Structure 1
Amino acid sequence: MSPYLAAISIYPIKSLDGIDVNQATILESGALQHDREFALFDEQGHPFGEVKSQKSKVKSHFVNGKRNAKVHLLRSAFDANFKTLSLHIQGTDQKAIFHVDNERSLLETWLSDYFGFAVKFVQNTITGFPDDTNAKGPTVISTGTLEEVASWFPEVSVDEMRLRMRANIEIGGVPPFWEDQLFTETGRFVQFQVGEVLFEGINPCQRCIVPARDSQTGKLTTNFQKIFVAKRKESLPPWTTSTRFNHFFRLSVNTNIPVSQAGKILNQGDEVRILGISEND
Structure 2
Amino acid sequence: MARLDRLTVYPVKGLDGIELEAAAVREGGTLAHDREFALFDADGEVVNGKRTDRVHDLETDYEPSTATLSVTAPDGDRRRFDLEADREAAAAWFGDFFDADLSLERDASLGFVDRREMGPSVISTATLETVASWFDGTTVDGVRRRLRANVEIGGVDPFWEDRFVGEDAPAFEVGDVRFEGVTPCGRCVVPQRDPDTGEPTDGFRQRFVEKREATFPDWADRDAFDHYYTLMIIARVPERDRGCTLTVGEPVETGRQ
Same fold flag (TM > 0.5): yes
2:129 — aligned with what? Answer: 147
* Amino acid across the alignment from 2:251: E
8 Å contact kept, 2:146–2:194: yes
CA–CA distance in structure 2, aligned partners of residues 145 and 268 of structure 1: 18
1:1-20 to structure 2, matched below 5 A, reads: 2-20=1-19
Structure 2 residue 84 is the aligned partner of structure 1 residue 101 = yes
1:193 — aligned with what? Answer: 173
- CA deviation string 1:220-271 (max 9, x = no partner): 0001011001110111011111012221111001011111112211111111
1:74 — aligned with what? Answer: 58
For the residue of structure 1 that corresponds to 2:211, the secondary structure is: helix
* Amino acid across the alignment from 1:134: E
1:179 — aligned with what? Answer: 161
8 Å contact kept, 1:88–1:94: yes
Structure 2 residue 218 is the aligned partner of structure 1 residue 238 = yes
1:28 — aligned with what? Answer: 27
Q: Judging changes above 3 Å, is the alpha-carbon distance between structure 1 residues 122 and 189 closer, same or farther for their aligned structure 2 residues?
A: farther
Structure 2 residue 250 is the aligned partner of structure 1 residue 270 = yes
Structure 2 residue 94 is the aligned partner of structure 1 residue 111 = yes
1:155, CA displacement in angstroms? 2.2
For the residue of structure 1 that corresponds to 2:81, the secondary structure is: strand
Identical aligned residues as a percent: 41
1:189, CA displacement in angstroms? 5.5
Unaligned runs of 5+ in 1: 45-59
Length, aligned pairs only: 257
2:104 — aligned with what? Answer: 121
8 Å contact kept, 1:89–1:95: yes
* Amino acid across the alignment from 2:59: R
* Amino acid across the alignment from 1:171: I
8 Å contact kept, 1:6–1:269: yes
1:85 — aligned with what? Answer: 69
CA–CA distance in structure 2, aligned partners of residues 113 and 131 of structure 1: 25
RMSD after superposition = 1.2
* Amino acid across the alignment from 1:182: F
* Amino acid across the alignment from 2:234: N
For the residue of structure 1 that corresponds to 2:8, the secondary structure is: strand
* Amino acid across the alignment from 2:213: K
CA–CA distance in structure 1, aligned partners of residues 243 and 116 of structure 2: 21
CA–CA distance in structure 2, aligned partners of residues 220 and 84 of structure 1: 31
* Amino acid across the alignment from 2:152: E
For the residue of structure 1 that corresponds to 2:208, the secondary structure is: helix
1:94, CA displacement in angstroms? 0.9
* Amino acid across the alignment from 2:89: L
Match among 244, 256, 260 for residue 236 of structure 2: 256
Match among 48, 52, 60 for residue 64 of structure 1: 48
CA–CA distance in structure 2, aligned partners of residues 42 and 239 of structure 1: 44
* Amino acid across the alignment from 1:25: A
8 Å contact kept, 1:42–1:119: yes
Unaligned runs of 5+ in 2: none
8 Å contact kept, 1:28–1:261: no
For the residue of structure 2 that corresponds to 1:31, the secondary structure is: coil
- CA deviation string 1:113-149 (max 9, x = no partner): 00011111110011101122232x1110001000000
Structure 2 residue 207 is the aligned partner of structure 1 residue 223 = no
* Amino acid across the alignment from 2:133: S
* Amino acid across the alignment from 1:264: C
CA–CA distance in structure 2, aligned partners of residues 5 and 102 of structure 1: 34
- CA deviation string 1:153-195 (max 9, x = no partner): 002111100111100111111111011111123xx66321111
CA–CA distance in structure 2, aligned partners of residues 104 and 171 of structure 1: 34
CA–CA distance in structure 1, aligned partners of residues 86 and 251 of structure 2: 41
* Amino acid across the alignment from 2:70: S
1:152-163 to structure 2, matched below 5 A, reads: 152-163=134-145
